[in-house]
Structure 1
Amino acid sequence: MTVEFVPGQNAPLQASVVTFRASSQTPFDVSALVTDTHLRALSSEDFVFYNQPATAGVQLAGDSIRVELDRVHPNAAAVLCIVSVDPSHAQAGAFRAAGLSAVLTDESGSVIGQFAIPTAGSETAVICWELYRRNGAWKVRGVGQGYAGGLAELIGVHGVEVDDAPASSAAMQQVHAVEPFEDGRGLERMWMIFEDASRSAASLISSSEYAMKRLDTELTAAVADASTRNSPAGVAAREAAQNRHDELVATARASHTRDSAQLTQELTVVDAVLPRAMASWESPVWASEKGTAPQSLETVTSSDGVRLGVLTAADRGALTVPYCLPIPLTRPVWVESTSSAAAVGVVSALTLRIMAAGPMPLLDVVDLTGAFTSLTDRLSAVLAGPVIRNHSEISARLTGLAQSVDLAELARTSGMSAVQAGPSTQRLLILGDFPHGYSEQDVHSIMFLAERGPMIGLSIVLVGDDESNSTEETVAALANGCRHLPAAGEIDVQDPWTGSHWVLVPDVLDPANQPQLFAALDKF
């Protein structure tokens, strides 16, 4: 049975021999890359293209790639099936609106999978399929990840050494051609960059750990014989082992440094064309005067994601990667702080970005201590009601929101038109000073809103001490279901692809001293 794939979808492979083909209105070449579990090339000899048409189990055959899965190198974990624009046509706009699609067939020619690949318009190389091995069995995943820097960038990210000058030149030519994102594609691009950074980090970590393990083994062997331990031969063996370790680590770090430089360059360019909800405060899309931003940026108003901050790893270099989440927030964000006043910077930054994601949501705020006055004064026009200053008013507001969620969900499931359903229920709920002053019923209402609200456009931000170990079961359950951010400092994060360690530093904003950012909401 033919499977119609979407990005990220996977399926088992029953056939032992498969063939990859693609079609597009833009002339292209096909190639393949055999990789390890971290999607790093086993060696330069495992890149299959027109100048190197075969490796173990993988062969270029005209305009297709044939893979004999039983013959693929036993150390291989995946085979990436790639298309790239013919260099002579690179100026024609890459795969822009070119109807790129890929097909996978078995040895009899029967179609196993079809994949209509969505493109952003700037890609000159795309990973179509990933054939990968899990527990001794082969599976296939539709990928659709594109690279503006072309084939040189793609294979460089995956560990193949390329000629620095041509690769850099090609990447530069393409990166300057990046255009504003289509609605709904910014978050995907940010997560592609995060994935590239994570896989590069995992390769560095893996190589370094392997180098250390090999060094330990070789040093142990060099000192095992007491009679030669301190002889010239023994000393030479230890020095040689140390040199091999240092060379391997240096090579791995140089590769990671190159990857990081490419990603930094890409991020510098895309920051200027990201929707405001995901762009840095320094991006021209946050310019307070309409005329100060490039004309092409003025239409970038809606976003499918919102930025929380940046990811760093000091031990791996200076690369910082924006950390973005879908909007509306699929899980509440819990800003950890002993007082709401100390969390104003983080809450203000997140609130403004959610407001900028569009369409403008209504804002409900519980602020028992008056900590967020500078923020709510700036956003008074979008308040759904008076800011709650007294704990006795919390229950009524939460009950009203829960009813709104019920009605909106009923309208959505019954197929009502937008006019029949009434005004948009898109909202942001900020709950300060939690859980002090909140009743048990309030907590249950918040849990209901956290579960059902995102389906109709409700995002929730809580502020308070971390209650993950609270003796109150409902409070602890709510805390454990949230995504946590520190009001100050940083928090550990693991990427979902390789488990590499990152540090998340939340974005902050001072409503009193950065009014131009709020003005930007009205200027675009």
Structure 2
Amino acid sequence: MTAELVRGQNHALPLTRLEIRVSAGTPVMAGATLGDEHGRVRGVEWVAHPGCPRLPGLKVSQQAAADHRIAVDLEALPAGAHRVTVLFALLPGIGGPARFGAVPAPFVAVTGLDGDEIATFTLTGLDVESAVSALELYRRQGGWKVRAVGQGYAAGLAEMLADQGLAEAAALAGAVHEALARGGVRSVVASPPRPRTPEDDRVRRAPGHRAPAAGPPGGPAPRDCPAPAPSPAPASVPLPPPASPAGAGPADDGRAPSTPGSAGPAPGPVGGPVDYAHPLRRRTPPAPPPAAPTARVARSEEAAPPVAGDATGWTMDERLYNQVRGMFEDLARAVAAYRSAADFAESRMSRELDRALSDPRDRMGSAGDRAREEARARRDELTSRAREVLDRDLGRLAAEAAVVEPALPAAYAGWDNAVWHAHRTPLEGPMALRLGDLHLPERADLRVPLLVRLPLERGIWVDSGRTGLEAAAVTDPDRLRRLAVESAVAHAARLLAVYPPGEFAVHVIDAAGAAAASLAPLVGAGVLAAPPAAGPGGVASVLARLTRRVDLVQMAARAGAADSLPPDLDTGEQLLVVNDFPHGFDDRAVTQLRYLADEGPAAGVHLLMVADRDDARAYGPVLDPLWRSLLRLTPVADSHLADPWVGHAWTYEPLTVPPGSGVLERVLAQVAAARRAGGR
């Protein structure tokens, strides 16, 4: 049965040898890129285009045409390739249209070598875009899946390739367009397809009939096509998606982002409506499937039970990190597909009612009631089908989360995980740290760990204010401040516990002494670098010491003389916890704080602020860059974080120590004992 995908939806691939058919209604350049485990294209040798049509496991057309067939052999891809992105672009420089909004909605189908469709996708809602990433085939739990992407780019092919991490994007796009313009690659304008007839379907499905294929992928490349470089070993730590301003964490702009939906059909060209029918779409029920092909079949639909660590990576920590990131992305895209389908069903019902009730005489009486009932029934049917798909995907993710959560190392685990009770001082620092959990309203009990890469690429701001927070607005202000400090203490304790002794130090500024009770676990265990600094003098002393450290590390790095650092300089990672800002800060201290926020992470100095934005209004725009540079977290549940893929507003839940548990005190005591044993 063919899966008709909507933007963001994925579907398991039962075959590894495939054909991807593109029907654009106007001549386009079709190609494909290979991506590593992070989705990045490593070089031009990983791009198949008309000037370089053959790559291992891929073959694309050498012509610009309205219809394309791309051959894919997933088993023949290079070892480092984990993703295949199918893309196409308009050719405005040689007489074609300049935007997809002026042509029929492109249609893409993934088929087997026998021509039977596995999944289809109609790219509606395009307007000013001139290049599109249509589909991606990606590895997941030992099998392959196809995802409907539909991401358009107004700036064309160069922008699309650059978004996939290709450094030579502009040069490659220019070379492709130049070849097309000078006739090096012939532009073929396909004649309009004739209407599909039942006889066509009978011939296509007749026993023994095989659709003409694009030929086996691979083979010799043209003379000017770069040879694929040997696949390097995977990096020791995965790179975050390029769209995420937080590094490996979600985006945060202080407000809930808009959620992309499924837009209506693009406006057609002048002279008449656009025909959205596609010749490849079946109009009759499919015939029974033919005998299985000789290619090996990956039965992803009958996937084995999920396994913790079933992802790429050299170490188990790397595999679990990548698996959590994969779950995060799958959940984001699955919900995006459901919301898009629900929005489409609602808009379709509105259009049907507008047409049916356009005549005032039809709005009253049984005819109007019947039209409303039928439109609502079709809306409910579409929404119900989308919800069934969503529930299936969420069920699989819930099963995966159930086996992944108990297997997480301490740095990735919640305080209630048994791994903390058996925790021992590590020999090396972790690659990431869990700061909380994220969930969406479609299934609040399915939570994904919020992991950020270490060392921290930017500081953290724990918001102790009530402005803009729904849950905080009904919380007592004093209790909210206490919860914010306790949250910061828990983050600092986790960082101390997951680093080897002596490789991480925590400094605290509590200028007014208002957080003495909340800071007691850190102070009582003796794990702080020095007692909490109080008053303007204490603030100035701590800031001067850390600023000096950043200056010395930067000078040593520029001179290439790391051995020349003073012997009294602590070379471990440093965390500065600032409570009750701006109390005790003068203009010089504010400038130093901004300096640490901007330059500190690269020199091993990180900032964790507990503050209310309203308390610092007097500084005005002086502090705005500081707030924007920090990852904002909340001490209570709040929907202000966005994922880097589709931009959902996720509910963030801070990590809390179970009531009555002494796990935090035990962990800090272990950190203190390890430091004493190491002489620090």
| TM norm. shorter chain > 0.5 | yes
Cross-structure match for 2:431: 304
Written as runs of structure 1 = structure 2, the 5 A alignment for 1:88-487 is 108=222, 110-111=225-226, 116=231, 170-172=303-305, 174-175=307-308, 181-182=315-316, 186-230=320-364, 232-288=366-422, 302-337=429-464, 340-359=481-500, 360-367=503-510, 368-369=513-514, 370-381=516-527, 383-416=528-561, 422=567, 423-467=570-614, 470-472=617-619, 473-487=621-635
1:453 aligned partner, one-letter code: G
- State the shift of 1:201 in Å: 1.6
Closer, same or farther in 2 for the Cα pair 1:270/1:438, shift >3 Å? same
Structure 1 distance, partners of 2:220, 2:371, is: 51
Structure 1 distance, partners of 2:614, 2:321, is: 30
- Match among 89, 112, 136 for residue 80 of structure 1: 136
Cross-structure match for 2:637: 489
- State the shift of 1:364 in Å: 0.3
2:629 aligned partner, one-letter code: G
Match of 1:108, SS state, is coil
Structure 1 distance, partners of 2:492, 2:633, is: 14
- State the shift of 1:352 in Å: 2.1
Contact 2:582 2:615 in 1 (8 A): no
Q: Given the alignment of the two structures, is residue 500 of structure 1 paired with residue 655 of structure 2, yes or no?
A: no
Cross-structure match for 2:109: 46
Structure 2 distance, partners of 1:176, 1:330, is: 25
Contact 2:410 2:423 in 1 (8 A): no
- State the shift of 1:478 in Å: 2.1
Contact 2:55 2:218 in 1 (8 A): yes
TM-score by length of 2: 0.54
Contact 1:4 1:113 in 2 (8 A): no
1:355-376: CA deviation from partner (whole Å, max 9, x where unpaired): 2342441110112222433232
Closer, same or farther in 2 for the Cα pair 1:14/1:264, shift >3 Å? closer
Cross-structure match for 1:155: none
Closer, same or farther in 2 for the Cα pair 1:419/1:251, shift >3 Å? farther
1:254 aligned partner, one-letter code: E
Structure 2 distance, partners of 1:86, 1:519, is: 40
Structure 2 distance, partners of 1:243, 1:117, is: 55
1:320 aligned partner, one-letter code: R
Match of 1:345, SS state, is helix
Contact 2:556 2:564 in 1 (8 A): no
- State the shift of 1:332 in Å: 1.9
Structure 2 distance, partners of 1:243, 1:75, is: 37
Structure 2 distance, partners of 1:237, 1:300, is: 70
2:415 aligned partner, one-letter code: W
Structure 2 distance, partners of 1:188, 1:506, is: 22
> What is the number of equivalent residue pairs in this alignment?
431
Work out which of the two has the higher radius of gyration on C-alpha atoms and give 1 or 2.
2
Match of 1:432, SS state, is strand
Structure 2 distance, partners of 1:365, 1:15, is: 56
Structure 1 distance, partners of 2:332, 2:456, is: 23
Closer, same or farther in 2 for the Cα pair 1:256/1:272, shift >3 Å? same
- State the shift of 1:119 in Å: 6.5
1:205 aligned partner, one-letter code: R
Closer, same or farther in 2 for the Cα pair 1:344/1:514, shift >3 Å? farther
1:450 aligned partner, one-letter code: A
Closer, same or farther in 2 for the Cα pair 1:404/1:185, shift >3 Å? farther
1:397 aligned partner, one-letter code: V
Match of 2:548, SS state, is helix
Closer, same or farther in 2 for the Cα pair 1:240/1:273, shift >3 Å? same
Structure 2 residues not aligned, in runs of 5+: 1-32, 59-73, 78-82, 89-104, 122-129, 144-216, 237-298, 466-477, 675-680
- State the shift of 1:417 in Å: 5.5
Q: Percent same amino acid at aligned positions?
A: 24
Structure 2 distance, partners of 1:391, 1:354, is: 27
- Match among 40, 58, 69 for residue 9 of structure 1: 40
1:435 aligned partner, one-letter code: P
Structure 2 distance, partners of 1:312, 1:388, is: 37
Match of 1:488, SS state, is coil
TM-score by length of 1: 0.69
Structure 2 distance, partners of 1:401, 1:86, is: 47
- State the shift of 1:432 in Å: 0.8
Cross-structure match for 1:94: none
2:135 aligned partner, one-letter code: V
Structure 1 residues not aligned, in runs of 5+: 37-41, 59-73, 88-102, 122-165, 291-297
Contact 1:20 1:81 in 2 (8 A): no
Structure 1 distance, partners of 2:622, 2:579, is: 18
- State the shift of 1:258 in Å: 1.9
Contact 1:287 1:517 in 2 (8 A): no
Structure 1 distance, partners of 2:136, 2:341, is: 21
Structure 2 distance, partners of 1:84, 1:355, is: 34
Contact 2:352 2:375 in 1 (8 A): yes
- State the shift of 1:396 in Å: 1.3
- State the shift of 1:120 in Å: 10
Structure 1 distance, partners of 2:142, 2:662, is: 48
1:314 aligned partner, one-letter code: P
Contact 1:434 1:463 in 2 (8 A): yes
2:231 aligned partner, one-letter code: A
- State the shift of 1:424 in Å: 2.0
Structure 1 distance, partners of 2:660, 2:107, is: 53
Structure 1 distance, partners of 2:235, 2:394, is: 22
Closer, same or farther in 2 for the Cα pair 1:111/1:347, shift >3 Å? same
Match of 2:407, SS state, is coil
Match of 1:342, SS state, is helix
- State the shift of 1:449 in Å: 0.8
1:105-148: CA deviation from partner (whole Å, max 9, x where unpaired): 99637247658386699xxxxxxxxxxxxxxxxxxxxxxxxxxx
- State the shift of 1:219 in Å: 1.1
Structure 2 distance, partners of 1:398, 1:85, is: 48
